[in-house]
Chain A
Amino acid sequence: MTQQTEWKKYPPHDRPHSDVEDIKRRSEYLRGSLVETLRDPITGSIPEDDNRLMKHHGSYMQDDRDLRNERAKSKLEPAYQFMLRVRASGGVVTPEQWLMMDRISHKYGNETIRLTTRQSFQLHGVLKWNLKNTIKEVNDALLSTLAACGDVNRNVMCNPNPYQSEIHTEVYAWADKISRHLDPRTRAYHEIWLDEEKIVDSRDNEEQEPIYGPVYLPRKFKIGIAVPPSNDVDVFSQDLGLIAIVDEKGRLAGFNVTVGGGMGMSHGDNKTYPQLGKLIGFVTPEQSIDLAEKIVTIQRDYGDRAVRKHARFKYTIDDRGLDWLVTELHERLGWELQPAREFGFDHNGDRYGWVKGSNGKWHLTLFIQNGRIADFEDYPLMTGLREIAKVHDGDFRLTANQNLIIGNVSSQKKRKVDALIKQYNLTDGAHYSALRRSSMACVALPTCGLAMAESERYLPGLIDKIEPMLEEAGLRGKEIVIRMTGCPNGCARPMLAEIAFIGKGPGKYNMYLGGAHDGSRLNKLYKENIGEEEILSSLQPIVNRYAKERLDGEHFGDFAVRAAYVEAVHDGRRFHA
């Protein structure tokens, strides 16, 4: 009991902290027994305690759920494998780094790469025995998996806006600085994966992990920076959102600050809900790092460590009030935020095709269905991108919508890149419906342990069936944000979509309508636990009415609210109401 009291400096004081808190506390800064359990040759798995710690190292254990039953029958353990998340702040990587990802996905993974909704890479299917080599190769290429998951600040998202190159470069630099500032400092990662010798660490707790301390945060923490008019990063879904404000001379003036956004909820538990970030002011670029640190420490000290479902920053704020937060923040900063400045978003999707940036370089945004880079039958996407990476001298940018920008192509190289695009039949998606280009699905089955229903493997097929409906209604070119996830944790940010499906069970989804096209309003449950047939029959009349009755420029989500299919939700606490 005495050792527990030491960590009882964090609330709540009247209830026991969750088991994960105990695991972190005992882990000696994320070491746990990983070295031993990774070596255990009898199983491809690691114990649950170590898996909790693994997340902080950027990986977690999954298994191929398609094979679970047949393997159990064959007296084989589940096909355990590890998802490895490789982060690059703002989602920008060099061609060499792209080639490294391509290489290790073939060598150790399932020969595909998944671009995530947080501008990271995911490899799937890495076996336990290959984790160390994989992580080593990632680090050799100057990328990292550290803190890509876990109870820490995750990859800092940043708009990869190819239109305003100078602004992007500057915003990206701040994203990177914030990200580095919030990196965990533990040497465990280097010891376990990179063969760094373990030295007896005489530093005391504050020195070892000055921002996080020995038990890290109560839950994951997400930061994203948007550059208006694009809200591609869904800034209102972030625990800490920054909105770039450009002054009249076109230079970066600073950031508006939003706090307490977040997607995750649990089915059947109305105390959990998605929430929109709330605007609390403005900071200069230089102040942003201090701001981020203090916000993180507030969440560290006040987040709920008893109930993980209630541990995100959004609940900390909703429980204590926004005023409390601002007061606490000002106190910790020693200075006050400026009033928020004017800004406006008009969309949260990507703009496809070639554009010329203000730096004279060219940028090509490719549509990547659900972020999956693979060689598909009749569509050698992965090979094409590899060939481009071999000649490309600019960069690759992962968008928040799981798409890919071949960035900073010089005029001389543009012809060459174009030739490869044609040769490999790569596409900006222009021939797809606007609905498909605005679609996003999480990974779900077969690898994600949380999935209750299909997502990545199902949404494209569902869209096939919705498209004729739109075609008939003359809406083929209309951008409607449609998103699907296999569970309510919200990886594809479905609660912000105009049409959303969240898995309830095999083939069954909750259907949500009414999100704003610019990501500034939550959607709301329209139909519960329905299958494909009912999805289509429910959508048909709404699409038809939208085609006929929509106002000039009115988006589908706005129409759904105006036509009273659902109520508008501006505060997550009304999401279930």
Chain B
Amino acid sequence: MELNVTNSPFNEQQSELLNRLLPTLNGHQRVWLGGYLAAQSAAAGVQAPAAQTGSAPSPESAAPLAQAAPAKPKEATVLFGSQTGNGSGLAKKLAKRLEELQVKTEVLSMSDFKPANLKKIENLLIVVSTHGEGDPPDNAIAFHEFLYSKRAPKLEQLQYSVLALGDTSYEFFCQTGKDFDSRLAELGASRLADRVDCDVDFDESAGEWMKTVAEALSAAPAAAASAADAAAPLSADPDSEYSRSNPFRAEVLENLNLNGRGSARETRHLELSLEGSGLRYEPGDSLGVYPENHPRLVDEIIAEMNWNPDEIVPTGKNASAALREALHRYYEITVLTKPLLEQAAKLTGSEALTKLVAPESADELRAYVGEHDLLDLIRDYGLQGRTAAEVTGILRKIPARLYSIASSPNATPDEVHLTVRAVRYANRGRDRYGVCSVQMAERLEPGEHLPVFVQHNPNFKLPANPDTPIIMIGPGTGVAPFRSFIAEREETGANGKSWLFYGDQHFSTDFLYQTEWQRWLKDGALTKMDVAFSRDTDQKVYVQHRMLEKSQELYEWIDGGAAVYVCGDEKQMAHDVHATLETIIAQGGGLSPEQASEYLLRMQQEKRYQRDVY
């Protein structure tokens, strides 16, 4: 059939194009196109009318087809902002995919992007994570600030889409992604595809987002093959088959307590074998570990629900397992999230629970989510009587825990070391614990195995120049990556000076890796070390106090080009250390507080101030 304006919804130009195209298609191509158009219509939804009037091409329009042979190739800019390597990994993956579709793509960290260029680009794709109380990650701070400032330009020429990374167990889930999404719209830009918010287990939803974006941007419909690898491993080592979605079972070589007798702390030092995995890491990278739930909690839940532990329940798309096994290894049962509570409210119809997840109960919700687990939820809101399939259907997959790697691959080849503090407390008469840390402390013997993957972190790296001095601030388990740094610098014979600030509760029992620091100080691999033990003296002393005591000397190091690294607790420590660095820079450089703040921001952009905080 020859199409024309009367027998079809197409205009003359469209009819002509279709008439030229359709006769060339073979049977397979026709079937594919039919399905493709149907899927696109379903996905794009409300954007359809806008697409018909506006200049922005929508997936539903035939624009991509019209541009099958454009004079000028499409261009896109992918910006990422993330504390760990997830953001940059996803950004690079997207770029690779777009390049395959002939879209000329540039990938940049937000801190490397000049905001003035915003006016010059047409397609912007953002991958950004959220930190702490809804804050942007370090390398996104400046760009975020710029967009919200008066200097932000009108961006009517811009099409964009945001992939937000987050964790539903946090109150301000994906807040930074939401910020970028709404702000760009306010500035007049239009959405190329709707924002997608990802929970910790992001592979699948990120894959979907990429697929949508790629199709929206591509000159030709995305090939079916590309869709298939949407969930393919992210940031995988080129020479390893193992990744987040296919973790390596690493043998435990050593598992010991770093705290001395009488300490209130228990910090495990784990040595794992990566032999044969092909996994590679650099100092500053993290290791993802998939934990197992405590069998006691699993049994308590099963008993409370009166379930059959052998009942087969689904675990993911095409998998299933016995209930006990599923709760032990697959589902998260120790951390509550808002989506879980919302779905539980729907499931039970509980008025109290519905009230708890309502917007006006934010404070109560935060308190409840922060201190309770699935067993509490079951008991408090009457989930008893629900089937195992119903309840597991609303649980999320147990997320991997990320730990800053404490070893140097050059100093200890084929091994990876972790420094993990066991989290234990009691609430409502039951012992509570960190899932992964307590598994390591209580149920992990040398010879056993842990599923792990390497999480690259390009935002926490030793200076490229081995002569650059480094200042490391890492109290508690925050010291882990610095053990890696110093071991690496010793092994590679780097000449740069180094200065470590460390702190914990008690000198006698909590000085993690004490004998190693002492040896490194003696050998010169570590130049200086200052320590703060908060419970040994009448007044609590923390690392920032020691930094202030050495203010002048620290400023001289910084002014002389030293790189500053902070690792550890975000809420208190990283914040106080940041403020202390501002003070030191202001004093040392004779700067105003604002200037000192800018100085630090510049350092951040120059990657001379890097943080791995959690």
A-B contacts counted at CB < 8 A amount to: 47
Q: Which residues of B are found within 8 Å of A462, using beta-carbon distances?
A: none
Task: Tell me how far the C-beta of A445 lies from the nearest C-beta in chain B, rounded to whole angstroms.
Answer: 16
**Docked pose: A60 CA to B157 CA in angstroms:** 78
Task: Tell me how far the C-beta of A465 lies from the nearest C-beta in chain B, rounded to whole angstroms.
Answer: 30
B531 interface contact, C-beta 8 A:
yes
**Docked pose: A278 CA to B516 CA in angstroms:** 54
**Docked pose: A77 CA to B529 CA in angstroms:** 16
**Docked pose: A494 CA to B77 CA in angstroms:** 86
Residues of B within 8 A of A (CB): 256-261, 269, 507-509, 511-518, 521, 529-531, 536
Chain A residue at minimum C-beta to C-beta distance from B546 = A41
Taking a contact as CB atoms under 8 Å apart, the answer to whether A42 and B517 are in contact is yes
Q: Which residues of B are found within 8 Å of A77, using beta-carbon distances?
A: 511, 514-515, 518
Q: Which residues of A are found within 8 Å of B261, using beta-carbon distances?
A: 67, 70
Task: Tell me how far the C-beta of B508 lies from the nearest C-beta in chain A, rounded to whole angstroms.
Answer: 6
Per a CB cutoff under 8 Å, which of A41, A76, A127 touches B531? A41
Task: Tell me how far the C-beta of A47 lies from the nearest C-beta in chain B, rounded to whole angstroms.
Answer: 11
Known: A41-B530, A42-B531. A75 touches B521 (CB 8 A): no
6 contacts between A and B (CB under 8 A): A42-B517, A44-B508, A70-B261, A74-B257, A74-B258, A75-B269
A79 interface contact, C-beta 8 A:
yes
List the 6 shortest-distance A-B pairs measured between CB atoms, nearest first. Answer: A75-B515, A76-B514, A41-B531, A76-B260, A75-B513, A74-B258
Taking a contact as CB atoms under 8 Å apart, the answer to whether A42 and B515 are in contact is no
A43 interface contact, C-beta 8 A:
yes
Taking a contact as CB atoms under 8 Å apart, the answer to whether B530 and A75 are in contact is no
Chain A facing B: main interface SS: loop
Q: Which of A41, A70, A79, A127 has the most CB of B within 10 A?
A: A41
Taking a contact as CB atoms under 8 Å apart, the answer to whether B521 and A76 are in contact is no
Taking a contact as CB atoms under 8 Å apart, the answer to whether A74 and B260 are in contact is yes
**Docked pose: A43 CA to B518 CA in angstroms:** 8
A71 interface contact, C-beta 8 A:
yes
Taking a contact as CB atoms under 8 Å apart, the answer to whether B259 and A74 are in contact is yes
Taking a contact as CB atoms under 8 Å apart, the answer to whether A75 and B508 are in contact is no
Per a CB cutoff under 8 Å, which of B507, B509, B516, B529 touches A75? B516
A536 interface contact, C-beta 8 A:
no
Task: Tell me how far the C-beta of A367 lies from the nearest C-beta in chain B, rounded to whole angstroms.
Answer: 32
Chain B residue at minimum C-beta to C-beta distance from A64 = B261
**Docked pose: A44 CA to B260 CA in angstroms:** 14
Chain B residue at minimum C-beta to C-beta distance from A130 = B536
Task: Tell me how far the C-beta of A82 lies from the nearest C-beta in chain B, rounded to whole angstroms.
Answer: 13
Q: Which residues of B are found within 8 Å of A71, using beta-carbon distances?
A: 260
Chain B facing A: main interface SS: mixed
A450 interface contact, C-beta 8 A:
no
A72 interface contact, C-beta 8 A:
yes
Task: Give the number of residues in A that approach B within 8 Å (Cβ atoms).
Answer: 16
Taking a contact as CB atoms under 8 Å apart, the answer to whether A75 and B260 are in contact is no
Task: Known A-B contacts: A67-B261, A74-B260. Give 16 more (CB < 8 A).
Answer: A41-B507, A41-B531, A42-B514, A73-B256, A74-B256, A74-B259, A75-B512, A76-B260, A76-B509, A76-B514, A77-B511, A77-B515, A77-B518, A79-B508, A127-B508, A129-B536
Chain A residue at minimum C-beta to C-beta distance from B512 = A75
Q: Which residues of B are found within 8 Å of A129, using beta-carbon distances?
A: 507, 536
Contact residues of A between 351 and 371, Cβ < 8 Å to B:
none
Taking a contact as CB atoms under 8 Å apart, the answer to whether A67 and B515 are in contact is no
Q: Which of B269, B508, B521 has the most CB of A within 10 A?
A: B508
**Docked pose: A70 CA to B529 CA in angstroms:** 25
Known: A76-B511, A127-B508. A42 touches B257 (CB 8 A): no
Q: Which residues of A are found within 8 Å of B518, using beta-carbon distances?
A: 42-43, 77
Taking a contact as CB atoms under 8 Å apart, the answer to whether A42 and B521 are in contact is yes
Chain B residue at minimum C-beta to C-beta distance from A66 = B261
**Docked pose: A67 CA to B512 CA in angstroms:** 16
Chain B residue at minimum C-beta to C-beta distance from A81 = B508
Q: Which residues of A are found within 8 Å of B269, using beta-carbon distances?
A: 75
Per a CB cutoff under 8 Å, which of A42, A43, A67 touches B260? A67
Q: Which residues of A are found within 8 Å of B258, using beta-carbon distances?
A: 74-76
Q: Which residues of B are found within 8 Å of A73, using beta-carbon distances?
A: 256
Q: Which residues of A are found within 8 Å of B529, using beta-carbon distances?
A: 42
Q: Which residues of B are found within 8 Å of A72, using beta-carbon distances?
A: 515
Taking a contact as CB atoms under 8 Å apart, the answer to whether B260 and A79 are in contact is yes
Task: Tell me how far the C-beta of B136 lies from the nearest C-beta in chain A, rounded to whole angstroms.
Answer: 36
**Docked pose: A77 CA to B531 CA in angstroms:** 15
Task: Tell me how far the C-beta of A42 lies from the nearest C-beta in chain B, rounded to whole angstroms.
Answer: 6
**Docked pose: A532 CA to B516 CA in angstroms:** 41
Q: Which residues of B are found within 8 Å of A67, using beta-carbon distances?
A: 260-261
Task: Tell me how far the C-beta of B198 lies from the nearest C-beta in chain A, rounded to whole angstroms.
Answer: 38
Taking a contact as CB atoms under 8 Å apart, the answer to whether A75 and B514 are in contact is yes
